[in-house]
Chain A
Amino acid sequence: MRPTGVYFENFAAEARVLETRRARLWLVALCILLVALPMLAGPWLLGQLTYAFITLIAVYGLFVTVGMAGQINIAQSAFVGVGAFSAAKLSGLGVPFWLVIPAAALITGAVSVLFALPAARVRGFYLALTTLAAQVMFPIVILALPMSWLGGLVGMPVVSPDLFGLSLGGPRGFYWLALAFAAAATWCAFNLPRSRLGRAMRAVHDNDTAASVMGIPVTRIKIEAFFVGALFAGVAGALTAYFLQFVTVSSFTLFASVWYLGMLIVGGIHSPLGPILGVAFITLIQEGLHAISNALLQSGSNIGGGAVFALSSILLALCILIALIFEPRGLAHLWQTAKTTFRLWPFPRN
């Protein structure tokens, strides 16, 4: 619901994401804060935020495949891995950074199409299994290839990026870089639902039988949903490679794929706002757990890292369950409801 007094004079204005002047001002303020943050925050916080930005890009990819088109994908982490290894290999071959990122995205997209070709023909449970196969195959393939290709079990080092001689290797430079890509990904994710392709994905998600009769090429749209989701994963992977300056298969596990899905579900799978809220929420929980476990360790308790790992898994499962039972539309919907309630107060909603 909009506040009163907001009206539009043409369809382009109506299609804007930020409808009010106040919303636009808030966005500008948020951008200034995020850009200025390296002046205020230490390297630890910057590192955490950088990692959250990269995660956000990967979760946007899932938003497209799972949220928009309704194609379950439990291999997003493998696709991020494809992006990371592509970036490592290309940068090792001396390809400049600004070319590596789009190239890694396209390579990941191409690999995803390979899987989407059979996957677009099956639904639900079988689709889940097909994407699970992609996740399982990823380390097997990398390890089976000759060491000199993708580093095998050892992995590959990645040189830190520089843009036209300007080094982006430090925590500050890389923070800005990740922020820029996360901002671009956010823009893309908010654009997609307002386009022909985005509406076709939604149609396939809601009712693919009706969609096919109404002239929407369903199989093609499903493949494009995987492709676009993998483009995001590829960018996230390439950034991960540069960020860690090293890639190994063990960084891209089924476990990470499930975390990505959890973030999407908790945030809300139907709104591009969902990934932002989900990543923020889950990251905060993870960090909270780390802080608690560190405090426990320091106080001399003998809880190990294994327990923390198990505890965080249980908490994630709980978050997903609570979201699915009480608010399947996620935090994004809670946020919308809260805004509407506030605007209508003291009158009830509906």
Chain B
Amino acid sequence: MTPANGSILEARDLCLRFGAVEALRSVSLAVQAGSIHALIGPNGAGKSSLLNCLSGFYRPWSGAVLFQDEDISTARPPMRSTLGIGRTFQGIQTYPSMTARDNILTGFHSRMSGGVFAALFRTPALIRQEEAFTARAEEIIAFLELEQDRHRVVGDMSYGLRKRVDLGRALATDPKILIMDEPMAGMSPEEKGDLARFILDIRDHFGIPVVLVEHDMDVVMDISDRVTVLEFGEVIAEGPPERIADDERVITAYLGAAEVAV
């Protein structure tokens, strides 16, 4: 429809309602290739709703979602995951009874093969495939520094580690873009620092752009290339972090008068 303008994932005029609540009112967003794009706004602003529309978990009432200039508005979540839209979740959504490595291996599901027969009789083809994908899972484990915990059951892990496993599982889907909903909520400053480093590495080493929702303004200012501010389901500002930090509307709407005074 439009010429490629360097944006990899785009939302156009998304509207979404839950009963009387208008979660999104004509929201547009364009994520540039190779960038970290932060989404900020007060509670209930519609940030998660927007991410869920991007990953296909919510179906917007109107508007379109474009991925690499193709309209994917009708694609369901597993399809979008296969296309290359990876995501991590708000809160803890890992598989608690499985080990860290098995959690990550599930991310390879759509790129592995083999059904009931191979699984029951452990065919040579399956063994070869398991070895190849275990090696790839180990690369992710090394990147996320999870070596000590690869065989630990995720349900027994700390919050920060579980979020890291969640990220590893998302990376295993071989994403072309990564969507993260409040990855740092509830983390200690050390854990936040680690995760910020991983997110920067994901952009720089893997070349994967990241869209994330984050409440910690220090983190947002430090790592993001672009910031979009939502309030009551509407975009009230958008631009590089320096400009957002000085924007009058953002300061009054989101940062709050108290923080301006400090």
How far does the Cβ of A116 sit from chain B's closest Cβ, in whole Å?
13
Q: Does A75 contact B (CB under 8 A)?
A: no
Q: Is there an interface contact between B98 and A199, defined as CB atoms closer than 8 Å?
A: yes
Q: Is there an interface contact between B131 and A202, defined as CB atoms closer than 8 Å?
A: no
Q: Is there an interface contact between B122 and A203, defined as CB atoms closer than 8 Å?
A: no
Within 8 A of A (CB), among B100-126: 102, 105-110, 112-116, 118-122, 126
Partner of B106, one of A209, A211, A228: A211
Contacts of B116 in A (CB 8 A): 197, 224, 227-228, 231
Closest residue to A1 on the B side, CB-wise? Answer: B151
Closest residue to B138 on the A side, CB-wise? Answer: A11
Q: Does A206 contact B (CB under 8 A)?
A: yes
A195-B126, A214-B173 known; A203 vs B120 contact (CB < 8 Å): no
Q: Does B254 contact A (CB under 8 A)?
A: no
Q: Does B55 contact A (CB under 8 A)?
A: yes
Q: Is there an interface contact between A213 and B87, defined as CB atoms closer than 8 Å?
A: yes
Q: Does B32 contact A (CB under 8 A)?
A: no
Partner of A214, one of B97, B109, B114: B109
Q: Does B252 contact A (CB under 8 A)?
A: no
Majority SS at the chain B contact face = helix
Q: Is there an interface contact between B98 and A206, defined as CB atoms closer than 8 Å?
A: yes
Q: Which of B35-43, B77-85, B183-191 contacts A (4 or more CB under 8 A)?
A: B77-85
Q: How many residues of chain B get a CB closer than 8 Å to chain A's CBs? A: 42
Q: Does B232 contact A (CB under 8 A)?
A: no
Closest residue to A218 on the B side, CB-wise? Answer: B78
Q: Is there an interface contact between B109 and A200, defined as CB atoms closer than 8 Å?
A: yes
Per the bound structure, the CA–CA distance linking A227 and B116 in Å amounts to 9
Q: Mark B46-57, 1 if CB is under 8 A from A, else 0.
A: 000000000111
How far does the Cβ of A134 sit from chain B's closest Cβ, in whole Å?
20
Q: Does B93 contact A (CB under 8 A)?
A: yes
Q: Is there an interface contact between A216 and B131, defined as CB atoms closer than 8 Å?
A: no
Q: Is there an interface contact between A191 and B119, defined as CB atoms closer than 8 Å?
A: yes
How far does the Cβ of B59 sit from chain A's closest Cβ, in whole Å?
14
Q: Is there an interface contact between A194 and B98, defined as CB atoms closer than 8 Å?
A: no
Q: Is there an interface contact between B81 and A214, defined as CB atoms closer than 8 Å?
A: yes
Q: Is there an interface contact between B119 and A198, defined as CB atoms closer than 8 Å?
A: yes
Q: Mark B123-159, 1 if CB is under 8 A from A, else 0.
A: 0001101110011000000000000000000000000
Pick the most buried of B55, B120, B169: most chain A CB atoms within 10 A of its CB.
B120
Contacts of B119 in A (CB 8 A): 191-192, 195-198, 228
Q: Does B224 contact A (CB under 8 A)?
A: no
Q: Is there an interface contact between A192 and B81, defined as CB atoms closer than 8 Å?
A: no
Q: Does A12 contact B (CB under 8 A)?
A: yes
Q: Is there an interface contact between A205 and B106, defined as CB atoms closer than 8 Å?
A: no
Q: Does B198 contact A (CB under 8 A)?
A: no
Contacts of B77 in A (CB 8 A): 212-213, 215
Partner of B89, one of A198, A210, A231: A210
Q: Does B239 contact A (CB under 8 A)?
A: no
Q: Mark A172-195, 1 if CB is under 8 A from B, else 0.
A: 000000000000000010011011
Beyond A199-B106, A206-B94, 5 additional contacts (C-beta under 8 Å) are: A195-B130, A196-B112, A196-B119, A197-B119, A202-B98
Query: When A and B form their complex, which 10 residue pairs have the shortest distance between CB atoms, in order from nearest?
Result: A215-B81, A195-B119, A206-B95, A197-B119, A188-B120, A210-B93, A11-B134, A191-B122, A215-B110, A213-B77
19 CB-based A-B contacts, threshold 8 Å: A12-B130, A15-B127, A195-B119, A195-B126, A196-B113, A197-B116, A197-B118, A200-B106, A203-B95, A205-B97, A206-B94, A206-B95, A213-B78, A214-B81, A214-B106, A214-B109, A215-B107, A215-B110, A217-B78
